[in-house]
Every structure is written in structure tokens, then in C-alpha cells.
Structure 1
Amino acid sequence: MTAARSSFGFKDVDAREKVRLVRGVFDRVASRYDLMNDLMSAGVHRVWKDMTAARLNPQPGETIIDCAGGTGDMARRYSRMAAAVQARRGGPDARVVVIDYNAEMIAAGIEKGSAPEMVWAVGDAMKLPLPDACADAYSIAFGIRNVADVSQALREARRVLKPGGRFLCLEFSRPSSEWLRQAYDAYSFKVIPTIGELVAKDRDSYQYLVESIRRFPDQPTLLRMMREAGFGQAEFTNFSGGVCALHHGWAV
């Protein structure tokens, strides 16, 4: 039986090997991950994340899964938003579960500080350590392209969501115009690995991250995969001309 293959940058590797390789990438960049995000995107990633959090619209009493949550950028947004609603109209605390496969990333997030609503756990997006139908909402931001099997990760998201639960996936995608694609490619391949080398002392990891974006399914393909995994009313919204896209749907 042939072993399953998965992309690791521009290479195809055994799916199990990809898991190990990706873990190594994030082990190396964890301490500089947030700084590098700011430098690579000129801070625009914060705007994309704010728009995603607004779309998710966290509410008091909800259980929200922040999968591949890294250092907790999205989870802190959800926690603050749910607490603000709670302060106005009352209700129980929200519960925001940050799950990431990489223990170094989780440790870096805890070191940055947490909130009462946040729970941290090491876990695999393809086999979440959670029961069926336990969550009101699930998001994965800039993490799904790093899993070995995107379809399996989508099925797991559907499994842990309650019927009617909200699914959001924020990820780099395909710019919608040719001139923007060319400019983005030039920036990605010439500038981002250089920033990684100078700031994080790790060119290879950022070369992988750039390559992984190019190998990830485009907007319509990911939309089709969501529908196959059991999400209804699935749509996507392009940010910054399609450099980034938010895919969203409902568990049905």
C-alpha cells in the first residue's frame, strides 16, 4: 500500500513526515513568530484577524475552538469581544480553547499572557482531543495549509461543531489579478525569506512558509472541500485583493 503524500513547500513528502517537518519549522520560529507576522505583512495581518473575529461574533457562554491557534492572537480577540458583550448584557463566560500541534507555540502564547476565558492545549487539527458537537464556533487562522490532510482537518472541524455551528478559515490565498499575483510572488520569494534570515535567523523556515502558500488550494477549491466536509452556505471573502481569504460556513 502506497503511503499518503502531502506537500511540504514545493516538495511532496510522506504525510507523516510532513507533520514532523512542520513541527520543526514552528519549533524554530515560535519566539519570533508574532514579530515576523508584523514585519512580513506590515501589520495588515491584524486587520485581517480583526475582520475575522468580527465575522465570528463571539458571544457569552459559547465554546469557541481556535485551532492551530499558535500564540493566541485570535483567541485573545474572541475573549475580549465575548467579555465586552457579557459586560453589556450579562451571561456566562465564554470558553475559548486554543489548540496547536506545536508545544513551543503554545508556550510562547502562555508567556504572552492569557485571559480567564482561554484554555490552552496541544493537539492535532486532524484528530482533535475533543468530543463530538461540543463547540459553537471553530476558526483556524493561517494554519490549515500546514496540516498533512486538509480534507481530514475540515471533517474534524465539522465533527466538533454543534449543528448550526460557525466555521471560519483565514488563510493566504490567490490574488485575484495577474499584476497583483506577480507583485506578491516577487515580494514573497525575494523579501520574506530575507526578513526571516535577518530577524528570526532562519531563512529555510520562511522559504517553506512562502512555498506552502503557493501549494495551498485556491479559493474555489477550498470552498468545494468545505462543502464536501459538511458545511452549508459556504462562501469566501477576499481580503487585500485575494492575498488572503476568509472562508466561512455553517455545520449542517
Structure 2
Amino acid sequence: MSDQVSFGYETVEAEEKTRRVGAVFSSVASKYDVMNDAMSGGLHRLWKDQFVRRVKPQPGEAILDMAGGTGDIAFRMAARGAAVTVADINQEMLDVGLERAVERGIDTLVWSRQNAEQLAYPDRCFDAYTIAFGIRNVTHIDKALAEAFRVLKFGGRFFCMEFSTTEWPGFKDVYDFYSHKIVPQVGKAIAGDEDSYRYLIESIRRFPPMPEFERMIREAGFEKTKVEPILGGLVAIHSGWKI
């Protein structure tokens, strides 16, 4: 049987999604952070600060930051003394992160090209696993969650920040209009790429609702799972423990 998954509002073969997602991020890598500022009005910086506060990275901890190519989360965790490995499937995103690290004089990070569904790390080698705004682009989310569980030590913690669906009625309507009508045009103006940003918005709409994604995290083996909605669920921080 064919393995079909969603690519935005389309249904495609799994290998096709992996290829097309790769092309999206290769296209937007150089303007990724500029576009984040433009699309969120700079709020993504506050969300990432909040995310790292929840992770509570400690000096010397081994943390895997998956889909962390541009380094935004890793820079914050490294500043707290954690030993962070930045992993991403897309080399162009990693190249942007490496360049930013050099500009900041940060030379303590490990950079590695990795597929979230097949990590090249042994069992139980990380104290924490983080992934911010990346898991919805994974072809098989369940496989990525299983790999996160595998590489974590017992007592390790999983933290994921991802766009979801806001439950604030009035705000939801405004955001739906903004995301579908305005964001692709902003992408066209700033990054010269309307289609990639249309996909990124569509991928948010296809991502499982907060309760369903929490269930998937539990099914991967994590316990004491928790969801922290931001702006009514526009963004959500999911967490769980390997016990």
C-alpha cells in the first residue's frame, strides 16, 4: 500500500513530502528569521524565550535541539551552559545557523544534519530533546516522537513548541484571514517566495489539535505530559518525561 501524507492541503506520497519540504526550507533559509519577525511582529522571540524557560537547561546537560537549524533555541540554551547539539535535515538551514553562530562568537555548539525519523545517535544519550516549529514538517510525526523517546536518558524531558489552532473565537477569525491572505504576500515581498509560505500556513492547519498531539506524545511512551497554550492555542508548548 502507498504511504500517503499531507503536504499542506495536498495529499502526497511520503517521499514526495520529504522532498518538497526540503525544497521549501532550502528556499526560505536565508530569509527565515526576517520572515519570522515580519509574520509574528517579533512575538516569536518572546515565545522562544518562554520555551527555553520551560526547558530549564542546566550547565553541562546534553540537549538535542531538533529542527533547530538557524540556532534560535540553541543560542538561548547554550547561554545557560547546556551542551547543545543542533540537528536539522536541511543543510541550508544549518549553514544559516553556523553563520549566525560565528557572528555571535559562539563555538560551543555541535551542528549535525539529521533526519528526525532516523537519528544517528545511540539510545539514552540526551538529557533533553527540544523541537520548536519543526515537528509539523516531519513526514511521520509518530516516528520522530519514537526517536525522541529513544535517545533520551531515563528522567529525560521532551519539549515541543508548535503552532496550533487558537480557541479564542474573534481572534481565530482574524488570524485565519491574516495567515491565508496576508502571510503568502509577505513571503512574496520579503523572501520572493509566495508558495513556500502558503505551504507553511497550510501545514499549521493540518497539524493535529492540542489534545490529539498530546495523545501522540503519550503513545510514544512519555509520561506527565502537559500542554501550555499561548494566545489561546495559536502556539502551544508540549512537554513530557521519559520515566
- The CA distance in 2 between the partners of 1:110 and 1:116, in whole Å, is 9
Give yes or no for the alignment of 1:61 onto 2:60: yes
Cα displacement string for residues 200-250 of structure 1 (whole angstroms, at most 9, x for unaligned residues)? 000000000000000000100000000000110001000122110000110
TM, length-normalised to structure 1:
0.94
Cα displacement string for residues 10-38 of structure 1 (whole angstroms, at most 9, x for unaligned residues)? 00111111100000000000000000000
Aligned structure 1 segments of 4 or more residues deviating by more than 2 angstroms: 114-117
**The one of 93, 97, 100 aligned to 1:112:** 100
Secondary structure of 2:124's partner? coil
2:202 aligned partner: 211
1:78 aligned partner: 77
Give the C-alpha shift of residue 181 in structure 1.
1.6
Secondary structure of 1:58's partner? coil
Tell me the amino acid that sits aligned with residue 102 of structure 1: N
RMSD: 0.8
1:102 aligned partner: 90
1:91 aligned partner: none
Give the C-alpha shift of residue 177 in structure 1.
2.2
Give the C-alpha shift of residue 116 in structure 1.
3.2
**The one of 202, 214, 224 aligned to 1:233:** 224
**Counterparts in 2 of 1:1-252, with a 5 A limit?**
2-82=1-81, 94-114=82-102, 115-252=106-243
Report sequence identity in percent. 50
- The CA distance in 2 between the partners of 1:173 and 1:42, in whole Å, is 18
- The CA distance in 2 between the partners of 1:203 and 1:135, in whole Å, is 38
Tell me the amino acid that sits aligned with residue 24 of structure 2: V
Secondary structure of 2:79's partner? helix
Question: Please, which runs of 5 or more residues in structure 2 have no aligned partner?
Answer: none
Tell me the amino acid that sits aligned with residue 105 of structure 1: M
1:89 aligned partner: none
- The CA distance in 1 between the partners of 2:239 and 2:167, in whole Å, is 19
Tell me the amino acid that sits aligned with residue 55 of structure 1: R
- The CA distance in 2 between the partners of 1:112 and 1:98, in whole Å, is 13
- The CA distance in 2 between the partners of 1:153 and 1:178, in whole Å, is 32
Secondary structure of 1:191's partner? helix
Q: Number of matched residues? A: 240
Tell me the amino acid that sits aligned with residue 183 of structure 1: V
- The CA distance in 1 between the partners of 2:162 and 2:78, in whole Å, is 21
- The CA distance in 2 between the partners of 1:238 and 1:81, in whole Å, is 25
